[in-house]
Amino acid sequence: MHEDVQLNGDDAWYALADDEACAVRASLPPDIRARVADLAVTLDPFPSPDEEIEEGDDEALLGLFVGPSFGEALETSDPLPCAIRLFVENLRDEAEDDPVRFRQEVRTTLLHEIGHYLGLDEDGLAERGLA
């Protein structure tokens, strides 16, 4: 897809997000790629109203990791499946409908959430430029 063209229709933004998410996963080092191989990445328009945003955070939620971190002991007999949710409309809004910025926002958000899956906290992510 050419970055300098305007995307028409919502489906094009989802396709662009999916394309970037696949590229991010393919670019990971082999050991990390193996760890996230079964990790689902979903593309949702917005977070649900009951999903928590940190107290005092006035920015829209761009992505969310749900489930236990890699290697974390399961605490219940029916755990949430591990997944990363990317919120396409919030990412699009953050990028101001610029396809180049949108791809970068998808990339940064996905890497941030993969970091959470791998057990990094916000400080660890900030140290890696993914906060």
The pLDDT, as a whole number, for residue 51 is 74
C-alpha 58/C-alpha 60 separation (Å) is 7
Give the residue with greater pLDDT, 52 vs 91. 91
What pLDDT, on a 0 to 100 scale, did the predictor assign at position 28? 93
Q: Hey, is 98 helix, strand or coil?
A: coil
**63-66 and 40-44 beta bridge pairing:** unpaired
CB 28 within 8 A of CB 71: no
CA 20 to chain centre: 11
pLDDT in tens, 88-124: 999 999 999 999 999 999 999 999 999 999 888 888 8
Torsion over CA: 68, 71, 76, 79 (sign): positive
Strand partners, 31: none
For the chain, what are the domain ranges?
Answer: 10-47+61-70+79-127
> Residue 1's pLDDT is what?
41
**Looking at the domain 10-47+61-70+79-127, which fold is it?**
Zincin-like (3.30.2010)
